[in-house]
Amino acid sequence: MCDSCDCSQTGNSVTIKRPGQAVSGSGSAGHHHHPHQGSPRRERIVEVREAVLGKNDGIAAHNRVFFNKQRIVALNLVSSPGSGKTTILEKTIRELRDEIPMAVIEGDQQTMLDAERIDATGVPVVQVNTGAGCHLDADMVHQALHQMELVENSLLFIENVGNLVCPAMFDLGEAAKVVIISVTEGEDKPLKYPAMFDAADICLINKTDLLPHLDFDVSRCREYAMRVNHHLEFFEISARTGEGMGAWLEWLRGQRVQG
Amino acid sequence: MPACSVLEQVRAIVYHECMHEMSLAVNIVELVSEKAQGAGGKKITSVELEAGKLSGVMIEALVFCFDAASRNTPAEGARLEVREVDGLGNCLGCAHSFALDSLLGQCPQCGGYGVETVQGKELKVVSFTIDEE
């Protein structure tokens, strides 16, 4: 993916695989702590003043430079488990695959199940299994990028681990975060999990075909989300029936033109 | 049971319960361990952290995770001292500046929700102390 990158990040139990691939591609160079040979004396305060996630942010910036150079629009899809992220991706890919080159990085704690679903649509996909980890980080994406051959001027969807809390903190180098809420969840999710809605740029409200059977109030949900983040742009969709998908697909086409 | 597998179990539990606090703790330990090595120190006795009240971090969980994450590193046994930083918001409607205690901040002057967070999301390692004995 790049010629001058630092690939020696810790990998703990993370595995990165393409569907059908047996061997893990995780670069898990450990950390070295050599006892220093100096002559120790007393207590000393060392100034640091660095962000805790500075290392992640550095790798994210590296990913972003790569995306910009290749004119790849990377979107980080975040939501609770079960909001329909993978179904949205399947539908989106089937609608756009004849006009736009696309690729997917799938993040889950375990299994290749989502990667296999995406693989069936015919676009390149890599699965990142985080083990116990509750989010993707920039290095996992970086390692996944090394396993893929991305096309210039394309779309890259990064489906984060289903979790409405932790992925908010970790920049992956994406152009935008897309938060997905389904109408089977409470409309007060944006108030309960504000960090994710605060970090997002786009909000997809999914499973709208079920609205007649539920008490979910879409306008209240939008209002709550806007309280947290007044920049949010909304699309109300049903990935199952295709209702409302047109505007979302149009937005994606627009991103690529600008990218 | 060997100590390392006990640690692995603790890590797994902690990772699950504390979610991103474990990753943050690992990042803090790595950062200070690297710097300590560069500074010629063997043992870190304390780490000073600045955490914004809107940073989304549970401090108790972070301290708990830090203890687990620092095992077998130069930061093992170090105290994690967390200084909380208040949230500060600017109303985009009426330009009023006020204390923010959540990301759902509402302007106390005009009632608007269009609020820009200007302080309180930071999370950084300020310094650490090394024991050179």
The pLDDT value recorded for residue B5 is 57
A5 within a domain of the structure (yes/no): no
CATH at residue B13: 3.30.2320.50
B64 within a domain of the structure (yes/no): yes
Q: Is there a contact between A134 and B15 if contact means CB atoms under 8 Å apart?
A: yes
Q: Residue B53 carries which side chain, given as an amino acid letter? A: K
Residue A27 pLDDT exceeds 60: no
Q: Is A33:B74 a contact under the CB 8 Å cutoff?
A: yes
Which residues of chain A are within 8 Å of residue B102 when distances are taken between CB atoms? 194
The pLDDT value recorded for residue A258 is 52
Query: Chain A residue with minimal CA distance to B46?
Result: A45
CA distance linking residue A81 with residue B76, whole number of Å = 35
Greatest alpha-carbon pair distance for chain B in Å reads 63
Q: Is there a contact between B30 and A31 if contact means CB atoms under 8 Å apart?
A: yes
With a threshold of 0.90, tell me whether the complex ipTM lies above it: no
pLDDT, tens digit, 9 for 90 and up, residues A92-134: 999 999 999 999 999 999 999 999 999 999 999 999 999 988 9
A120 within a domain of the structure (yes/no): yes
A33 within a domain of the structure (yes/no): no
Q: Is there a contact between B37 and A163 if contact means CB atoms under 8 Å apart?
A: no
A10 within a domain of the structure (yes/no): no
CATH at residue A138: 3.40.50.300
Residue A168 pLDDT exceeds 50: yes
Confidence of residue A3 (pLDDT cuts 50, 70, 90): very low
Q: Residue A101 carries which side chain, given as an amino acid letter? A: P
The pLDDT value recorded for residue B43 is 94
Confidence of residue A2 (pLDDT cuts 50, 70, 90): low
Residue A250 pLDDT exceeds 50: yes
Which residues of chain A are within 8 Å of residue B82 when distances are taken between CB atoms? none
CA distance linking residue B60 with residue B2, whole number of Å = 28
Closest by Cα among A56, A62, A31 to A136: A56
The pLDDT value recorded for residue A15 is 86
The pLDDT value recorded for residue B42 is 83
Three-state SS at B55: coil
- Give me the domain span that covers residue B24: 3-87+121-131
Query: Chain B residue with minimal CA distance to A53?
Result: B27
Which residues of chain A are within 8 Å of residue B106 when distances are taken between CB atoms? 227
The pLDDT value recorded for residue A31 is 43
Greatest alpha-carbon pair distance for chain A in Å reads 74
Stretch (H or E) spanning A218: helix A218-228
How many domains would you assign to chain A?
1
Q: Is A59:A142 a contact under the CB 8 Å cutoff?
A: yes
Confidence of residue A163 (pLDDT cuts 50, 70, 90): very high
In angstroms, what CA-CA distances link B6 with A217, B10, B21, B68?
48, 6, 20, 11
CA distance linking residue A84 with residue A179, whole number of Å = 11
A65 within a domain of the structure (yes/no): yes
The pLDDT value recorded for residue A9 is 40
Q: Of A209-213, A219-223, B86-90, B129-133, which gets the smallest average pLDDT?
A: B129-133
B62 to chain A, closest Cα gap in Å: 12
Confidence (pTM): 0.86
Q: Is there a contact between A35 and B45 if contact means CB atoms under 8 Å apart?
A: no
Which residues of chain B are within 8 Å of residue A31 when distances are taken between CB atoms? 30, 33
The pLDDT value recorded for residue A18 is 87
Cβ-count burial A209-237 (b if 16+ within 10 Å, e if not): bebeeeebeeeebbebbbbbbeebebbbb
Three-state SS at B5: helix
- Give me the domain span that covers residue A101: 54-258
B97 within a domain of the structure (yes/no): no
Candidates B11, B43, B91, B104, partner chain A, best to mutate (most A CBs within 10 A): B104
pLDDT < 70: residue spans in chain B: 1-18, 133
Please give the share of chain A, as a percent, with pLDDT higher than 90: 80
The pLDDT value recorded for residue B105 is 87
Confidence of residue A10 (pLDDT cuts 50, 70, 90): very low
A83 within a domain of the structure (yes/no): yes
At residue A30's C-alpha, the angle toward residues B82 and A41, to 5°, is 55
B45 within a domain of the structure (yes/no): yes
How many domains would you assign to chain B?
1
CA distance linking residue A5 with residue A258, whole number of Å = 27
The pLDDT value recorded for residue B40 is 82
Which whole number is the average pLDDT over A186-205? Answer: 96
Which residues of chain A are within 8 Å of residue B130 when distances are taken between CB atoms? 43-44, 46
pLDDT, tens digit, 9 for 90 and up, residues A49-75: 999 999 999 999 999 999 999 999 999
- Nearest CB among A36, A38, A48 relative to B127 is that of A48
